[in-house]
């Protein structure tokens, strides 16, 4: 047992001794250099400093983050690192540092420490040695001639005038279209309002039915339906009693409670009876009877429409012109649909 305890420490020492040359050889493969393009740099020119770190494969270079003021250099930007493999099996990770100098002379970069990881948590630090950069003046030695001040740099002119005119024209067009639409909608709304009196609507509808010439094509039922419906609507709007949704018998009973004269009531019922005979039976009238139905409807409307009397003053109103029909008032006008001159 004692021999085993003595053997373990000796084994550890042997492993460390064997690994030490490997670590040393890995450290020896780590190199870092700074370089720049050869040539002359003037004040304010970009000085591209290339940082190159050579390391064994699998190692990671922790890129340094430089302050804006790095020694005499003003750091403008730093590129991301890029790693390439070398023919000998090693790798090189490079980064470009864009630096500027704003005075002439020779300047040296500060020492640049680089941290490298072996991938197993072991960190190593190497340093990129300083390099010198020479900045020449833009002035020629011995040149004392005075020169005019250079004009101010001009920015490219963008002509926005066509855009402004186009947008103005578009806005004007949209505004005009909006007001035209509102006016058109108002006109359509006014046109949708039928200001005709009931008797005018009825007479126009009877004229329309006549132009259809339905009896000539044998469409008697449709002809009689249109005429009877027209007179039904007219009587309902003129005397304000239900007609459209009533049978002829119901209408006949209701007429007794309206101001419609007996003569007009009889003519109205006769027209409805004739229409019902054609609409609800196989009876087929002739064209002359169909034309007579139109005249019958016009007669009912003409006898019941309001009377318009035009006179400069009421002293000139004609005497004894009051209709005998009780639906008219004393001024000779329809009580239900009075029209003012």
Provide the CA 314 distance to its chain's centre, in angstroms. Answer: 65
For tokens 């370089």, what's the residue?
35
CA distance 9 to 317: 145
What is the predicted pLDDT for the residue at 216? Answer: 92
Q: List the one residue out of 103, 102, 59, 63 whose CA is nearest residue 80.
A: 63
- Give bridge partners of residue 280 from the DSSP assignment: none
Percent of the chain exceeding pLDDT 90 equals 37
Token look-up 């270079």 returns: 61
At 276, the pLDDT band (50, 70, 90 cuts) reads very high
Domain residue spans of the chain:
36-134, 198-316
Answer for the pair 49, 36: CB distance below 8 angstroms, yes or no. Answer: yes
The Cα 338–Cα 225 span in angstroms is: 29
The answer to whether the predicted template modeling score (pTM) of the entire model surpasses 0.85 is no
Residue with the larger pLDDT of the pair 158 and 26: 158
Task: Kindly indicate whether the domain formed by 36-134 is annotated with CATH number 2.60.40.
Answer: yes
End-to-end CA distance of the chain: 139
Q: How would residue 306 be classed by pLDDT, with cut points 50, 70 and 90?
A: confident
- What confidence tier does 40 reach under pLDDT thresholds 50, 70, 90? confident
Mean of pLDDT over the chain? 81
Cross-strand bridge partners of residue 35: 50
Q: How many Å apart are CA 341 and CA 328, to the nearest integer? A: 16
How many C-beta atoms lie closer than 10 Å to residue 27's C-beta? 13
- Model confidence over 104-117: pLDDT tens digits? 888 999 999 999 98
């Amino acid at each position: 047992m004692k021999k085993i305890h003595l053997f373990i420490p000796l084994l550890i020492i042997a492993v460390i001794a064997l690994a030490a040359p490997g670590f040393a050889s890995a450290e020896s493969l780590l190199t870092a250099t700074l370089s720049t393009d050869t040539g002359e740099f003037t004040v304010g020119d970009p000085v591209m400093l290339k940082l190159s770190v050579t390391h064994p494969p699998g190692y990671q270079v922790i890129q340094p983050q430089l302050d804006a003021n790095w020694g005499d250099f003003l750091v403008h930007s730093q590129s991301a690192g890029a790693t390439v493999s070398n023919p000998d099996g090693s790798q090189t990770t490079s980064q470009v540092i864009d630096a500027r100098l704003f005075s002439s002379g020779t300047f040296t970069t500060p020492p640049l420490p680089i941290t490298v990881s072996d991938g197993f948590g072991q960190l190593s630090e190497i340093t990129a040695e300083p390099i010198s950069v020479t900045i020449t003046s833009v002035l020629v030695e011995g040149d004392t001639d005075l020169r005019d001040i250079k004009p101010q740099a001009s920015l490219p002119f963008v002509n926005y005038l066509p855009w402004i005119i186009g947008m103005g024209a578009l806005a004007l067009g949209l505004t005009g279209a909006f007001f035209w639409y509102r006016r058109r909608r108002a006109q359509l709304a006014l046109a949708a309002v039928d200001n005709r009196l009931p008797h005018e609507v009825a007479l126009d509808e009877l004229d329309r039915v006549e132009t259809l010439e339905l009896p000539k094509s044998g469409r008697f039922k449709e002809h009689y339906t249109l005429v009877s419906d027209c007179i039904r609507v007219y009587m309902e709007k003129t005397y304000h009693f239900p007609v459209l949704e009533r049978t002829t018998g119901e209408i006949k009973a209701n007429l007794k409670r309206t101001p419609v004269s007996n003569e007009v009531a009889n003519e109205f019922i006769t027209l409805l009876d004739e229409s019902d005979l054609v609409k609800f039976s196989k009876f087929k009238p002739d064209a002359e009877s169909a034309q007579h139905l139109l005249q019958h409807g016009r007669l009912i409307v003409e006898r019941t429409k309001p009377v318009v009397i035009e006179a400069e003053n009421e002293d000139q109103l004609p005497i004894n012109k009051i209709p005998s029909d009780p639906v008219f008032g004393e001024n000779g006008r329809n009580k239900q649909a009075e029209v003012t001159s």
